[in-house]
Amino acid sequence: MAAATAAYAATAAALGGARVPTTASAAPRNPSLLLPPPPRCFSSPFLPLASSSRFPDAHRFSSLQVKATSSSEETSSSPDELLDELKQKWDAIENKSTIFLYGGGAIVAVWLSSVVVGAINSVPLLPKLMELVGLGYTGWFVYRYLLFKQSRKELANDIETLKKKIAGTGE
Protein backbone atom coordinates (compact mmCIF):
# COMPACT_ATOMS: atom_id res chain seq x y z
CA MET A 1 0.00 0.00 0.00
CA ALA A 2 2.87 2.32 0.82
CA ALA A 3 4.39 1.54 -2.56
CA ALA A 4 1.16 2.55 -4.34
CA THR A 5 1.00 5.81 -2.38
CA ALA A 6 4.63 6.57 -3.23
CA ALA A 7 4.05 5.80 -6.91
CA TYR A 8 1.04 8.08 -6.93
CA ALA A 9 3.01 10.88 -5.25
CA ALA A 10 5.85 10.45 -7.77
CA THR A 11 3.42 10.59 -10.68
CA ALA A 12 1.73 13.68 -9.28
CA ALA A 13 5.08 15.37 -8.82
CA ALA A 14 6.13 14.48 -12.37
CA LEU A 15 2.91 15.96 -13.74
CA GLY A 16 3.45 19.16 -11.84
CA GLY A 17 0.98 18.49 -9.07
CA ALA A 18 -1.87 17.64 -11.42
CA ARG A 19 -4.38 15.10 -10.29
CA VAL A 20 -4.53 11.87 -12.24
CA PRO A 21 -8.15 11.02 -12.96
CA THR A 22 -9.49 7.75 -11.70
CA THR A 23 -11.88 5.60 -13.68
CA ALA A 24 -14.85 7.05 -11.81
CA SER A 25 -13.87 10.63 -12.54
CA ALA A 26 -12.46 10.01 -16.04
CA ALA A 27 -15.73 11.03 -17.69
CA PRO A 28 -15.95 14.79 -18.11
CA ARG A 29 -18.63 16.50 -16.11
CA ASN A 30 -19.35 19.08 -18.82
CA PRO A 31 -19.36 17.62 -22.34
CA SER A 32 -19.20 21.05 -23.94
CA LEU A 33 -15.66 21.44 -22.62
CA LEU A 34 -14.51 18.85 -25.14
CA LEU A 35 -15.90 20.73 -28.13
CA PRO A 36 -13.50 22.82 -30.17
CA PRO A 37 -14.07 26.56 -30.11
CA PRO A 38 -16.31 27.94 -32.87
CA PRO A 39 -14.54 29.20 -35.97
CA ARG A 40 -13.68 32.85 -35.95
CA CYS A 41 -15.58 34.98 -38.38
CA PHE A 42 -13.78 37.96 -39.71
CA SER A 43 -14.64 40.53 -42.25
CA SER A 44 -12.36 42.71 -44.18
CA PRO A 45 -13.21 45.68 -46.34
CA PHE A 46 -10.73 44.33 -48.87
CA LEU A 47 -12.50 40.99 -49.39
CA PRO A 48 -15.51 41.05 -51.73
CA LEU A 49 -18.85 39.66 -50.51
CA ALA A 50 -19.15 37.32 -53.47
CA SER A 51 -16.89 36.15 -56.21
CA SER A 52 -17.05 38.61 -59.07
CA SER A 53 -16.84 35.78 -61.58
CA ARG A 54 -20.01 34.13 -60.23
CA PHE A 55 -21.94 37.31 -59.46
CA PRO A 56 -20.85 40.16 -61.70
CA ASP A 57 -23.24 42.66 -60.07
CA ALA A 58 -22.34 41.77 -56.48
CA HIS A 59 -20.46 45.03 -55.92
CA ARG A 60 -23.62 47.01 -56.77
CA PHE A 61 -25.75 45.28 -54.16
CA SER A 62 -23.19 45.12 -51.37
CA SER A 63 -23.86 48.75 -50.42
CA LEU A 64 -27.62 48.58 -50.88
CA GLN A 65 -29.49 49.77 -47.79
CA VAL A 66 -33.21 49.46 -47.20
CA LYS A 67 -35.11 51.69 -44.84
CA ALA A 68 -38.59 50.71 -43.65
CA THR A 69 -41.04 53.54 -43.21
CA SER A 70 -44.75 53.72 -42.61
CA SER A 71 -47.16 55.88 -44.46
CA SER A 72 -49.38 58.27 -42.54
CA GLU A 73 -52.20 57.53 -45.01
CA GLU A 74 -52.67 54.04 -43.61
CA THR A 75 -54.64 54.09 -40.41
CA SER A 76 -54.21 51.23 -38.01
CA SER A 77 -57.41 50.40 -36.20
CA SER A 78 -57.17 49.96 -32.48
CA PRO A 79 -58.89 47.05 -30.75
CA ASP A 80 -61.57 49.41 -29.41
CA GLU A 81 -62.44 50.59 -32.91
CA LEU A 82 -62.59 47.01 -34.12
CA LEU A 83 -64.90 45.99 -31.27
CA ASP A 84 -67.15 49.00 -31.89
CA GLU A 85 -67.42 48.09 -35.58
CA LEU A 86 -68.25 44.47 -34.75
CA LYS A 87 -70.92 45.58 -32.26
CA GLN A 88 -72.49 47.83 -34.90
CA LYS A 89 -72.58 44.99 -37.43
CA TRP A 90 -74.02 42.59 -34.86
CA ASP A 91 -76.72 45.08 -33.90
CA ALA A 92 -77.60 45.56 -37.59
CA ILE A 93 -78.45 41.86 -37.96
CA GLU A 94 -82.19 41.36 -37.60
CA ASN A 95 -82.43 37.57 -37.26
CA LYS A 96 -79.64 36.51 -34.89
CA SER A 97 -81.00 33.01 -34.36
CA THR A 98 -80.33 32.22 -38.03
CA ILE A 99 -76.65 33.00 -37.53
CA PHE A 100 -76.45 30.56 -34.62
CA LEU A 101 -78.35 27.94 -36.60
CA TYR A 102 -76.00 28.24 -39.59
CA GLY A 103 -72.94 28.19 -37.33
CA GLY A 104 -74.15 25.08 -35.51
CA GLY A 105 -75.01 23.42 -38.80
CA ALA A 106 -71.53 24.14 -40.13
CA ILE A 107 -69.92 22.62 -37.02
CA VAL A 108 -72.10 19.50 -37.29
CA ALA A 109 -71.28 19.19 -41.02
CA VAL A 110 -67.53 19.36 -40.35
CA TRP A 111 -67.82 16.78 -37.58
CA LEU A 112 -69.94 14.46 -39.73
CA SER A 113 -67.56 14.70 -42.69
CA SER A 114 -64.66 13.92 -40.35
CA VAL A 115 -66.46 10.79 -39.18
CA VAL A 116 -67.19 9.69 -42.76
CA VAL A 117 -63.58 10.26 -43.88
CA GLY A 118 -62.33 8.34 -40.83
CA ALA A 119 -64.64 5.42 -41.66
CA ILE A 120 -63.48 5.37 -45.29
CA ASN A 121 -59.85 5.51 -44.20
CA SER A 122 -60.29 2.45 -41.97
CA VAL A 123 -61.39 0.21 -44.87
CA PRO A 124 -58.39 -1.42 -46.58
CA LEU A 125 -57.73 -0.36 -50.21
CA LEU A 126 -60.57 2.16 -50.20
CA PRO A 127 -58.31 5.19 -49.53
CA LYS A 128 -56.14 4.24 -52.53
CA LEU A 129 -59.25 3.85 -54.66
CA MET A 130 -60.44 7.30 -53.59
CA GLU A 131 -57.02 8.72 -54.54
CA LEU A 132 -57.40 7.18 -58.00
CA VAL A 133 -60.89 8.64 -58.34
CA GLY A 134 -59.52 12.06 -57.33
CA LEU A 135 -56.67 11.82 -59.83
CA GLY A 136 -59.09 10.78 -62.57
CA TYR A 137 -61.43 13.67 -61.83
CA THR A 138 -58.51 16.11 -61.76
CA GLY A 139 -57.33 14.86 -65.15
CA TRP A 140 -60.83 15.19 -66.59
CA PHE A 141 -61.22 18.71 -65.18
CA VAL A 142 -57.90 19.83 -66.68
CA TYR A 143 -58.83 18.34 -70.05
CA ARG A 144 -62.38 19.73 -69.99
CA TYR A 145 -61.80 23.24 -68.63
CA LEU A 146 -58.12 24.22 -68.59
CA LEU A 147 -56.43 22.74 -71.64
CA PHE A 148 -58.05 24.78 -74.41
CA LYS A 149 -58.65 28.52 -74.63
CA GLN A 150 -62.36 28.26 -75.48
CA SER A 151 -63.03 25.96 -72.52
CA ARG A 152 -61.15 28.34 -70.18
CA LYS A 153 -63.46 31.16 -71.32
CA GLU A 154 -66.45 28.90 -70.70
CA LEU A 155 -65.20 28.16 -67.17
CA ALA A 156 -64.67 31.87 -66.47
CA ASN A 157 -68.22 32.61 -67.65
CA ASP A 158 -69.61 29.83 -65.45
CA ILE A 159 -67.74 31.22 -62.43
CA GLU A 160 -69.02 34.75 -63.11
CA THR A 161 -72.59 33.43 -63.41
CA LEU A 162 -72.21 31.59 -60.11
CA LYS A 163 -70.85 34.74 -58.42
CA LYS A 164 -73.85 36.72 -59.66
CA LYS A 165 -76.27 34.06 -58.40
CA ILE A 166 -74.64 34.05 -54.95
CA ALA A 167 -74.52 37.84 -54.72
CA GLY A 168 -78.07 38.10 -56.02
CA THR A 169 -77.20 40.65 -58.70
CA GLY A 170 -77.90 38.61 -61.80
CA GLU A 171 -80.55 36.49 -63.50
Residue 45 C-alpha from the chain's centroid: 37
Q: Helix 96-122 vs helix 126-141: angle between axes, to the nearest 10 degrees?
A: 120
Question: Is residue 32 one of the residues assigned to a domain?
Answer: no
Per-residue CA distances from 81 to 30, 74, 89, 106, 107 (Å): 55, 15, 12, 29, 29
Helix (H, G, I), strand (E, B) or coil at 102: helix
Domain of 139, in residue numbers: 124-170
Residues 12, 18 contacting (CB under 8 angstroms) = yes
Which one has a higher pLDDT value, 67 or 136?
136
Domain membership flag for residue 23: no
- The predicted-structure confidence for 126-156, as pLDDT tens digits, reads as follows 889 999 999 999 999 999 999 999 999 999 9
Q: How far apart are CA 158 and CA 164, in angstroms?
A: 10
Domain co-membership, 118 together with 131: no
Residue 98 included in any domain: yes
Among 123, 139, 157, the domain-final residue is 123
Whether residue 115 is contained in a domain is answered as: yes
96-118 pLDDT per residue, tens: 899 899 999 999 999 999 999 89
Q: Are residues 133 and 95 in the same domain?
A: no
In a domain, 41, yes or no: no
